[in-house]
Amino acid sequence: MRKAGIIMIIGCLLLLGLFKFPLWNIMLGAPQYPDPMGMNIFIDGIKGVKEFDIQNIDGLNHYIGMKKIPKPAEMWEFSVFPIVIGSMVFLGVALGLLGFLKKISPYWFLAWLIGMTILGILGMYDFNNWLIEYGTDLDPKAIMKMTHPDGTPMTYKPPLLGHQKMLNFDVDSYPAMGAYLMFLGMLLTLVAFYLGIRKKTKNRRNMKTRLYLLLFIALGFSSCEVAPKKINYGHEGCAYCKMTIVDRQHASQLVTSKGKTYNFDAIECMINFKNENKDKDFKLYMVNDFQNPGELIDASLATFLISEEISSPMGANLSAFQEQSIASETLKNYGGKLYTWNEIFPLITSN
């Protein structure tokens, strides 16, 4: 138990890194901003990655009606989280000392780990709720108002984890140094528990099974994000017409509110599938950028061209472009007519 107690103490002390390093990082990049902007989320507040990042992000968000990034005094979490983390460090170190003195069972280490895991899940849940409110509670008098095909206003919730395309911005959200130190500390407490109980169990096979289960409990919590996924060209079929998807310039994808994806070999297939499945809650409409084959872009922000000189897999002669200027240039070369998403959706539906 002496070695287990020392490892338990070290693991808990690593959580003190949360008072120095950011827990999470969100970065925003766009073609007109070659130097990305970002914000670091600490347990006691939010700071810009660079000096004026928060000010610049608030300025951009003002146009679409988003609130300003909150200050520490405006969110109760920034007052409570430091107290919670400090208390868990104190408790964990105390348990480690008692374990070193062989005064307690190693199952106390497990109890601390489970408690910290629950707190982590609750913290991620609270963080995700804040992201939802931040991206959906928009000022109705905003300068810019973007809508989905059904007329409902667009929302701008950043991803909890991973990459997401928002308007012309690439948004990346990932754990930062503080989170990695916390995960490492929790892993060490799991190791401490394993070392403490190893001498007390005779069945090594059962012990390994327990370790894997505990590892899953401690580190297995994660969040399902509503985000596009890569299409496996040449190997999967269209969800509407069942043809194999091979065309990287005209493929498309629907993503539901639960993160389930449906892939299509043409934009017209996606629209027809959506109309025949009105009971499903689709959140993302993604189409391939004709200029950059294989790259999925937000259909609501794309410019569409119908030209008989550019055929699409199902005969609608429909292509999508991320840049309107490139769509206009293609129109000059091949002829046809340009449309917005709000215009093309009912046009394909009526056909």
Select from 219, 242, 272 the last residue of a domain.
Answer: 219
The token duo for 3 is: 């070695």
**How many domains are contained in the chain?**
2
**Do residues 98 and 197 share a domain?**
yes
Which residue did the predictor score with more confidence, 204 or 62? 62
Nearest to 71 by CA among 48, 50, 37, 49: 48
**Do residues 69 and 212 share a domain?**
yes
**Do residues 268 and 214 share a domain?**
no
**Average pLDDT over every residue of 90-118:** 88
Which pLDDT does position 223 carry in this prediction?
43
**Do residues 210 and 286 share a domain?**
no
Within a domain: 232 = no
The per-residue pLDDT for range 280-294, each reduced to its tens digit, is: 888 889 999 999 999
Which residue did the predictor score with more confidence, 329 or 131? 329
Within a domain: 236 = no
The answer to whether 215 and 190 are in contact (CB under 8 A) is yes
214: left (phi over 0), alpha (psi -120 to 50) or beta: alpha
Question: Does residue 101 have a pLDDT over 90?
Answer: no
Question: Does residue 166 have a pLDDT over 80?
Answer: no
Give the rounded percent of residues in the chain with a pLDDT score beyond 70.
87
Q: Count Cβ atoms below 10 Å from residue 338 Cβ, excluding itself.
A: 17
Within a domain: 85 = yes
Give strand pairing partners of 70: none
Distance CA 174, CA 192 (A): 28
Q: What is the domain range of residue 148?
A: 2-219
In this structure, of 10-19, 86-95, 140-149, the range with the lowest mean pLDDT score is 140-149
Distance CA 154, CA 133 (A): 13
Within a domain: 151 = yes
Which residue did the predictor score with more confidence, 19 or 204? 19
**Do residues 42 and 190 share a domain?**
yes
The per-residue pLDDT for range 303-349, each reduced to its tens digit, is: 999 999 999 988 899 999 999 999 999 999 999 999 998 888 888 87
Q: Which residue has the tokens 């689709």?
A: 282
Question: Does residue 192 have a pLDDT over 60?
Answer: yes
**Average pLDDT over every residue of 245-260:** 90
**Average pLDDT over every residue of 49-64:** 81
Within a domain: 213 = yes
Select from 199, 219, 239 the last residue of a domain.
Answer: 219
Distance CA 301, CA 297 (A): 8
Q: Quote the pTM value.
A: 0.55
Distance CA 287, CA 320 (A): 7
Is 133 exposed, middle or buried (CB count within 10 Å of its CB: 0-12, 13-18, 19+)? exposed
**Do residues 151 and 268 share a domain?**
no
Within a domain: 102 = yes
Within a domain: 83 = yes
Select from 194, 219, 244 the last residue of a domain.
Answer: 219
pLDDT band at 106 (very low <50, low <70, confident <90, very high): confident
Distance CA 249, CA 228 (A): 16
DSSP string, 22-62: -SEEEEEEETTEEEEEEEEEETTEEEESSTTHHHHHHHHHH
Which pLDDT does position 135 carry in this prediction?
72
**Do residues 269 and 182 share a domain?**
no
Which pLDDT does position 195 carry in this prediction?
84
The per-residue pLDDT for range 199-245, each reduced to its tens digit, is: 665 445 555 555 666 665 554 444 445 688 889 998 899 999 999 99
Question: Does residue 28 have a pLDDT over 80?
Answer: yes
Within a domain: 235 = no
**Do residues 215 and 260 share a domain?**
no
